[in-house]
Structure 1
Amino acid sequence: MDVTINTERIAFLARNVIVSLCALDATQSVQGHDQAYMSGTIDTIIHVWYSAFLTRDIVQYLEERIQPLLEQVRHHLDGKTPDTVLEHTWKFSGGRGSYLRLSLPVVRWNYVINSLKTPTALSYQVAKAQMQHVTLDPRRRDAREYHYSKMTDSPHLRMVYQRFLEDGMLLPFGHSRLDFVYPNGALFPEDIKYGYAESGSPLAAWGVLDVNKTPWAAENDLYGKLYFFLRGVIGNILHWLGPNEIGLCFHNVPIRTLPSRLASGKYDRIEVSNVCGREELSIRDTFQLFSGHLKDPADNPHATLMTWFVNAAKEPKDARGNAQSLPITFRLQLLYNNFDSKAPASHQVFTLVHVPGFIDRYFTEYMNTREFEQIAGESGMEMKSENTVVDKWAVRPKDDDTMTDHYLYLSSPHPLIERCVEWRKRGS
């Protein structure tokens, strides 16, 4: 399996590379089948990505196993100008020969190589103060209170989220934090302001109901459940990596530049993030940039281009990009994340049951005004009538969900109107 990943923010790229190296190193290591070693690798991946502080064991593992891999590149940078682009490939013996390839200009290579290191002057106390300056910023109090207002019917979520803001640790609520005293170099100082915004909850990337089903003694500790949920997900990935081969290619370029880096590469699946929904790219631009890199129907009739629209259904615009006005009744019900839990029960039920119908109709109107079907035809593409990779509305409540499930949805960081549109080349 070959996977190409483009991340425009260098801090995110560095963390992606670090956790990927951790995973690949674990599967090729002589200790690869040792449960304690694998468990430590899983913890390392979780905390490097989500937590502001690390234990001595995690820091030692990163220094002994991952930093030497990064240092392999350093001597190649000598004498090069900052904008010189260099490519490096790490090869691993796990499976049939996995690899990780990274192409960066010298100045960004220096960032990645040094991303695990923290200044000696950055003590635990100083780092925690820096973190809380962001997470508990008085200027963001209104935004935090709005986020909390969605948790009125799930007060336990307020408690676990508040603790996450205070200590920056993704751990079960009652788990000791005493050993986590080493600032996470992958977060400090450049990335800390991005990782802990109101929308930066660790829950934002995962299905809240799936997380809530995770067995855990503290039933209402959703972050504790997330910790064990992630241990299961990462453990399954490491188990899969053992006998299988994967090639990871990372890029750090603007999305419009990416196709030139792909050469003649063809893919079974291409996933474009919310750039279409944020109006950074039109759907026509997306087809022009990426349809040529999607495999032809003769090679793979299931090849799919996925485009995400996170907020399009609540940002009405006509085909020229001009704002439209929504009917008052629609605005009052739009959307789950504006749901008023103090409203009468009859209004709550109406909102939860009927708003999806409004959203479906509005997104259809959105696609019509933006001429999706016509542009797809001109680009040799067509929309799938039914999604085959993920649900069209992947993170909104289902008809058979309970009211408790609905409250969890409403309390989550998801906007609940994320729409995935899947495309294929004509003729498939």
Structure 2
Amino acid sequence: MVTPELICANWNFGSTGCERIGRHGCKDCQLVTYCSRECQKANWPQHKPSCKSPLRKEAWQPAWTLEGRTPAFMGGGLGQVFGDKKYLWGNVPAFDVLQLDKNEGADYSGPLRILFAASGDIRHVVKTISELPGSYSGTIEVTLNDRDGDIVARNIILHLVALVVDDIAIAVDCIIHLWYSALIRESDWNILQQQIRPLIEEICTKTAAKPPGTILGKTWSFDQRSLRVVLAKSAWDELLRYLDAPPGMDAQRAQQVRTIITLAESRKDYRDRYMCCIPPAHRVAFHKFREDGLVLPFGYPRGEFQVPNPTLYYGRCSWPMPDNADPRHGWPAEEVEDTSTGRATADIYGKLFFYLRGKISAFLMRLHSIDASFKLLQVDAASISDYVDPASFSRIDVSNISDYGWLGIHRTLLYMVPLLKPRLENPHATLITLFMNAVEETLTDKDRLRDLTPHSASSLKLVRYLPPDRRPTSRYDPVIVKVNMARDLVMDYDAIFDRYSSKLEFQKAAALLGAAMKHTHSIIDKWPYKLKLRPGKSGAQEEFDRAPGGGLSSKERYVEWRLTT
């Protein structure tokens, strides 16, 4: 992988600073790079608090240990979800929903239609199109639907930026910051106002007299690419307001209302618990993102970022997401950590920034070489058949609406199976369902107690990853907390999920609709977030150490479905 050109970290607010390439890393923290020893010395007063932060030390202790008290997460219900409940960023990693080489074949050039019935953000679209085989020259049609207006509005805006801005480098960084950063640059703001707003204003002006509930569609064409948006009239008017400056909010106020959530004093023990489980080298970068909310390399200038991101602060004076929302959770942790940041090897958000640059660049370049069309909707997934053609999709991804608390598997199959292409047209057509809560809802007290015994398979495996190096000093010792947090990662849940699927008669429900569960998956592993390597094997410890940072429990189970006729 090509090493990105990291700028020298010797910069100050209000001045240009050094603009040369940073080729030498800070040997103590590995968070920043410098062009020379002179620049490193000049920047030391600014860098010292981060470089010498107690968070970097192996001996760092969480506040509850230092203060000799019971941690807040052991109390009765101190906010399982703290902050607003919007999920504007992905909470499971993006994956390629086509996997052409494993299915239709790398040389396939026929048409492809993909439906994301409960899309969330656009990460799966970016990953799928960016990873199309170079030989693919067919047409691809992607339909994204979500019932959350905030998600749909942001997806529309990001697609428009991707299709309207000619300079790929400019478009890429604009997309990254509109997608993930709490503050954006004036240049990003200008793109919204000068290139995106006129497109939406035209629709709102032409339909001003229409009743609010009128369904209106608009198609924009850009050479061989197109974007169609179908929304109620009221939603079109709301879409325009996502481009407005948040009323009465400047950069300082935006950061204040954000850190009320992300750095809440009442959540200090939750943050410390998380930091117990990640490498010391990553804690400083994690804390900095909680402070400034900017997806940038650690040593990059922040002075340009002075505009509150209107797509995040739209219509509110508060931060819209839970305190633990993190852009890293939407992308494969191993791929992000394998991204080069030169000598700044501990800069995990810098790695994310350059990973996103690479993925989004590949996505945009691929759009320039194929016929691609996008359709965005805002309807309940149960009624999506009113807006799309039946028996027409090569892939359907529904996220976790198949979980019991949402549509459930029976209704999901009922609504989605008829939308798959018949086997005679495409035997590889696949419906992808995710069960995030099934295992947790099925586990019994007996199951949990069995795995807690010292000689259980999970306990014996866990001790190989976390060999005891000292006797715990209390029941809330960080060593015990880390063991308890890591236990999920080493447990086997196959029998638990089989019990769940048997109880809900997955096979019978599918058969009634002319479908079946795929015994061998061809898109995504059944348990993609379980540890793959045995303890003691090369890379196993690194895999284990990386897992807690991804925000996953390893209980997430995918099921793929195919038509039988």
Find 2:360's aligned residue among 234, 250, 253: 234
Superposed CA deviations along residues 205-240 of structure 1, whole A, max 9, x for unmatched, are: 111111000011211111110100010000111110
Offset of 1:365 from its aligned partner?
A: 2.1
1:206 paired with 2:327, answer no
- Of 303-312 and 409-418, more deviation after overlay is shown by 409-418
Offset of 1:52 from its aligned partner?
A: 0.7
Superposed CA deviations along residues 2-43 of structure 1, whole A, max 9, x for unmatched, are: 1111112111111111111111123xxxxx4xxxx3111100
Aligned to 1:29: none
Aligned to 1:193: 319
Contact 2:242–2:314 under 8 Å retained in 1: no
Show structure 1 runs of 5+ residues with no match. 27-31, 318-322
Q: Distance in 1 between matches of 2:236 and 2:445?
A: 45
1:246 paired with 2:372, answer yes
Mapping of residues 49-64 of structure 1, within 5 Å: 49-64=179-194
Q: Distance in 1 between matches of 2:280 and 2:326?
A: 16
Aligned to 1:270: 396
Mapping of residues 17-36 of structure 1, within 5 Å: 17-26=156-165, 32=166
Q: Distance in 1 between matches of 2:292 and 2:491?
A: 41
Find 1:379's aligned residue among 513, 526, 529: 513
Contact 1:148–1:158 under 8 Å retained in 2: yes
Q: Distance in 1 between matches of 2:492 and 2:514?
A: 31
Q: Report sequence identity in percent.
A: 29
Aligned to 2:451: 330
Offset of 1:287 from its aligned partner?
A: 1.2
Gap change, CA 1:381 and 1:324, over 3 Å in 2: farther
Offset of 1:134 from its aligned partner?
A: 2.1
Find 1:113's aligned residue among 220, 240, 252: 240
Contact 2:149–2:378 under 8 Å retained in 1: yes
Superposed CA deviations along residues 176-196 of structure 1, whole A, max 9, x for unmatched, are: 111100111101145763445
Aligned to 2:206: 76
- Of 110-119 and 131-140, more deviation after overlay is shown by 131-140
How many residues of Structure 1 are paired with residues of Structure 2 in the alignment?
405
Contact 1:316–1:324 under 8 Å retained in 2: no
Offset of 1:334 from its aligned partner?
A: 12
Q: Distance in 1 between matches of 2:488 and 2:374?
A: 43
Offset of 1:131 from its aligned partner?
A: 1.4
Aligned to 2:522: 388
Superposed CA deviations along residues 259-292 of structure 1, whole A, max 9, x for unmatched, are: 2222436201101111122531221111111111
Show structure 2 runs of 5+ residues with no match. 1-139, 471-479
Q: Distance in 2 between matches of 1:38 and 1:354?
A: 42
Contact 1:330–1:358 under 8 Å retained in 2: no
More helix by share: 1
Gap change, CA 1:135 and 1:351, over 3 Å in 2: closer
Mapping of residues 281-300 of structure 1, within 5 Å: 281-300=407-426
Q: Distance in 2 between matches of 1:349 and 1:271?
A: 34
Aligned to 2:554: 416
TM-score norm. by structure 1 comes to 0.87
Q: Distance in 1 between matches of 2:250 and 2:400?
A: 37
Aligned to 1:129: 256
Offset of 1:132 from its aligned partner?
A: 1.4
SS in 2 for 1:315: helix
Gap change, CA 1:271 and 1:195, over 3 Å in 2: same
SS in 1 for 2:493: helix
Find 2:503's aligned residue among 369, 377, 380: 369
Contact 1:310–1:415 under 8 Å retained in 2: no
TM-score norm. by structure 2 comes to 0.67
SS in 1 for 2:381: coil
SS in 1 for 2:319: helix
Contact 2:333–2:546 under 8 Å retained in 1: yes
Q: Distance in 1 between matches of 2:152 and 2:399?
A: 15
Gap change, CA 1:406 and 1:355, over 3 Å in 2: closer
Q: Distance in 2 between matches of 1:345 and 1:391?
A: 35
RMSD over aligned CA atoms reads: 2.9
Gap change, CA 1:132 and 1:351, over 3 Å in 2: closer
Offset of 1:172 from its aligned partner?
A: 0.8
Contact 2:401–2:412 under 8 Å retained in 1: no
Q: Distance in 1 between matches of 2:457 and 2:267?
A: 24
Q: Distance in 2 between matches of 1:226 and 1:354?
A: 26
Aligned to 2:276: 149
Gap change, CA 1:230 and 1:266, over 3 Å in 2: same
Q: Which amino acid aligns with 2:236?
A: W
Aligned to 1:320: none
Offset of 1:125 from its aligned partner?
A: 1.4
Offset of 1:328 from its aligned partner?
A: 0.2
Aligned to 2:442: 316
Offset of 1:345 from its aligned partner?
A: 7.3
Contact 1:165–1:196 under 8 Å retained in 2: no
- Of 351-360 and 177-186, more deviation after overlay is shown by 351-360
Aligned to 1:138: 265
Aligned to 1:406: 544
- Of 264-273 and 16-25, more deviation after overlay is shown by 264-273
